[in-house]
Structure 1
């Protein structure tokens, strides 16, 4: 009997050891999503036309890989976040243009697999700290309601953050499924007035999110269980409110100061990873949800020599690349070569497929329909293009598709906040289709739609097929949530 008991204990010990070893083989994953940080706002990506110091982002790039052709699925906040967490294009949902607000119903369906749920299935503990902006279904008129939906119902074990953009009520911190304090007053940050907590101030949010993230990393690093931290920052989105110690640092006004503070926040998170002793087994991804906002005051910045979109045309909200081409930096010691660069065309929807590849999982047909693993590019084993195409979507819901060096835009204008604006006199004079060759024209200034009708036809057909199939990756055909029109 004693011999049998010893055998059973030994077997149990070995099993525990195998599980612990398997868990330790999986990297911790920290995904940092800045809010309205332009491609040209990162110094190492825009050395000639960028004037804001970003030492921590520059160091991260030197330690890892920079993707130079990375795109958000939309050129605004909510839709991009949907794509990051689900691997599905945002325009397949009810949200055909614009963004959600703080009290809106959830955009992620209850039965949709998220990257947090996927990682939980594979032994991860998961946390979301920051700006949610995907709908929480918060009951209105109640000071201390239970919040029925949100990160906790989407696979996250822990949430601390804010409901939506920091210029949208409710103005309060949320922990898991409740406000940390009752809504007891009314405030307005930037332009929107609504329910708030009296002690809540916009300027305190970035430092608080940074501190909570550092604490999360320190706590979770003590466990053998791998962790996933999704950190969607509130900055440098409006209200543009750098802390007192950052005011005047950039010499470019509040926006430059806030970008510098955002860089500091990233530095604090990286330092926490180092101090916890888990840097060698932690995959860090740093990116942005769209291009720089017009609220940053482009003319003022450009007059001082700073170009937030770098060499690219457009800004947040636009179908032009300045709206959706974003910084994308990956660090994974021992796996990703330091100081490396990839020119692969990628999309932020690719995150869930990449995570599935890392943990050895296969996504079901009804998940990650527009997600392609970029792990081969990260490891330097890619032999050709990972994607056939990427679909872009503007603030006003206008489409574009990029395939290789060709980009086709289904409008005569920016589709968003830039010039020419939708319905403007200038837009009405221009062709209703734009075609650009990025081999020769990254500034999107020479429309070739008349010279290459065959390319227009080919890319139009490709977009129509992607819409009809309910997916852009191999797999069973899926249904979109609503009818989708290419031309608005």
Structure 2
């Protein structure tokens, strides 16, 4: 490609669809900068993370492969976890790096890496030695950030493959909105300073870029995930609670990134993406926000961790003045797993059969959003439950939420049908299970998902192996 676009990918952590005023007219949080981003580009109103929780959705974003194909079949990794991305797997960063891009990741990694060990326990780390199999082994020229969520130890900064300062004491943990776990902390690490520090690093990176060489900045924020720590200038500003204030701080970060791009004179040919890794967490205090008329999950059922829409339907805004009409909207069902194929399409290259097995290019949607369509999308909850969506129909292969909302896995699901089918056109709130009325739809979608699992891919191409065992407990529906 003669003039490849720059790419900035801002990934909020646990921010709900309903938190953005450009997507929810009744939002009590006025996200002025995100509204301006939407006005300058495209709003996707039916966009999804591949999973309802952090680690798996990030795996899918970078690899173009559904998260449940990895070794992680449920849950998330933690701060001391090993690497999830398979060695040699193509990522967004390595693809762009191969085509001359400067690549940087600044923020929350949460995909594991190998710490140098000082003993046999997971927390026995030799902080004087480099990490391996981290961002710089997966296509990034530069990394600055934290190993996992901001509420997970160890509380240290890592630059490229080195800890900037080793822990020198034990952090006691915190509760409430400021929740974080007990663990080792470095002398240069203060939780409230992390988002501002990462933002300064991102601004500095952008200030060094020119039109002469394309760049990719992957900017996964640690906010508004716990610990919910809005800076003093944002406290009370939303008129809601600390979570709403923290969302405004995230909005301000987006405004600062937009300003940095404008100062560099790179706006026209920069793809600027804002999205989130999953739905909003209950840590935001849903009852308190509901009393104020604010619903982070908008009209959708559930929240972070759930198989329901509130778990994985996420905000997705894309601005690219050179190719996307300002103020446009797309109602096609899309997934964050689609970015690897999108970049390959933009660059005019074909992905190998063992890469991007579930990724479908968004470029047609950028050009003609009203006619865009995609093959069925697969969703996944924190306990590893599956769902598949095709058009109006959503089949959920579990009796409850598969996550944290009622009915939770276990006793709350006793006596419920083992599967759920919802007509989202008539029932966006997923309240009326119509699986008994449409056995043909259930059979069709179950057959499709079975093929996707067995083929190791959902896109056309040579079948590929899934990582790990060929069968696992959450595939019980395939054996019924």
TM-score, normalised by the number of residues in structure 2: 0.94
Is the 2:209–2:264 Cα contact (8 Å) retained in structure 1?
A: no
Alignment of 1:12-23 (within 5 A): none
Q: State the shift of 1:381 in Å.
A: 6.8
Question: Does residue 1:46 correspond to 2:33, yes or no?
Answer: no
The correspondence for 1:373, drawn from 344, 361, 364, is 361
The correspondence for 1:55, drawn from 32, 43, 66, is 32
* Aligned-partner SS, 2:476: coil
CA root-mean-square deviation: 1.2
In 1, Cα distance between equivalents of 2:387 and 2:146: 31
Moved more, 122-131 or 372-381: 372-381
Question: Does residue 1:150 correspond to 2:139, yes or no?
Answer: no
Shift in CA distance, 154/248, structure 1 to aligned 2, threshold 3 Å = same
Which residue in 2 is equivalent to 1:197? Answer: 186
Question: Does residue 1:441 correspond to 2:427, yes or no?
Answer: yes
Q: State the shift of 1:144 in Å.
A: 2.3
Alignment of 1:48-197 (within 5 A): 48=26, 50-139=27-116, 140-187=124-171, 188=173, 190-197=179-186
Is the 2:7–2:271 Cα contact (8 Å) retained in structure 1?
A: yes
TM-score, normalised by the number of residues in structure 1: 0.93
* Aligned-partner SS, 1:376: helix
Is the 1:336–1:380 Cα contact (8 Å) retained in structure 2?
A: no
Question: Does residue 1:452 correspond to 2:429, yes or no?
Answer: no
Q: State the shift of 1:76 in Å.
A: 0.2
Moved more, 427-436 or 76-85: 427-436
Which residue in 2 is equivalent to 1:424? Answer: 411
* Aligned-partner SS, 1:395: coil
* Aligned-partner SS, 2:271: strand
Which residue in 2 is equivalent to 1:473? Answer: 459
Larger radius of gyration: 1
Q: State the shift of 1:486 in Å.
A: 2.4
Is the 1:143–1:184 Cα contact (8 Å) retained in structure 2?
A: no
The structure richer in helix per residue is 1
Task: Map Cα deviations across residues 189-233 of structure 1 (whole Å, 9 max, x no partner).
Answer: 524211210231111011111111111011022x61100000000
Shift in CA distance, 231/115, structure 1 to aligned 2, threshold 3 Å = same
Task: Map Cα deviations across residues 239-278 of structure 1 (whole Å, 9 max, x no partner).
Answer: 1111111111112111000000000001100110001100
The correspondence for 2:224, drawn from 225, 233, 236, is 236
Instruction: Give unmatched runs, 5+ long, in structure 2.
Output: 117-123
The correspondence for 1:215, drawn from 200, 204, 227, is 204
Aligned length: 462
Is the 1:410–1:487 Cα contact (8 Å) retained in structure 2?
A: no
Q: State the shift of 1:383 in Å.
A: 3.7
The correspondence for 2:252, drawn from 264, 270, 273, is 264
Q: State the shift of 1:279 in Å.
A: 0.3
Which residue in 2 is equivalent to 1:323? Answer: 311
Which residue in 2 is equivalent to 1:19? Answer: none
In 2, Cα distance between equivalents of 1:64 and 1:353: 20
In 2, Cα distance between equivalents of 1:120 and 1:44: 33
Moved more, 186-195 or 252-261: 186-195
* Aligned-partner SS, 1:43: coil
Task: Map Cα deviations across residues 420-464 of structure 1 (whole Å, 9 max, x no partner).
Answer: 111133x21321111001111110011100111111111111100
Q: State the shift of 1:182 in Å.
A: 1.8
Which residue in 1 is equivalent to 2:379? Answer: 392
In 2, Cα distance between equivalents of 1:166 and 1:334: 36
Which residue in 2 is equivalent to 1:10? Answer: none
Which residue in 2 is equivalent to 1:17? Answer: none
Is the 1:128–1:160 Cα contact (8 Å) retained in structure 2?
A: yes
* Aligned-partner SS, 1:391: strand
* Aligned-partner SS, 1:280: coil
Q: State the shift of 1:418 in Å.
A: 0.9
Is the 1:357–1:375 Cα contact (8 Å) retained in structure 2?
A: yes
In 1, Cα distance between equivalents of 2:379 and 2:279: 13
Which residue in 2 is equivalent to 1:302? Answer: 290
Which residue in 1 is equivalent to 2:119? Answer: none
Is the 2:93–2:138 Cα contact (8 Å) retained in structure 1?
A: yes
In 2, Cα distance between equivalents of 1:96 and 1:253: 35
Shift in CA distance, 60/104, structure 1 to aligned 2, threshold 3 Å = same
Task: Map Cα deviations across residues 278-314 of structure 1 (whole Å, 9 max, x no partner).
Answer: 0011011110000000111111111110000001101
Which residue in 1 is equivalent to 2:448? Answer: 462
Shift in CA distance, 191/381, structure 1 to aligned 2, threshold 3 Å = closer
Which residue in 2 is equivalent to 1:225? Answer: 213
Is the 2:41–2:326 Cα contact (8 Å) retained in structure 1?
A: yes
Shift in CA distance, 356/382, structure 1 to aligned 2, threshold 3 Å = farther
In 2, Cα distance between equivalents of 1:437 and 1:141: 50
Q: State the shift of 1:367 in Å.
A: 0.1
Is the 1:388–1:404 Cα contact (8 Å) retained in structure 2?
A: no
Is the 1:410–1:486 Cα contact (8 Å) retained in structure 2?
A: no
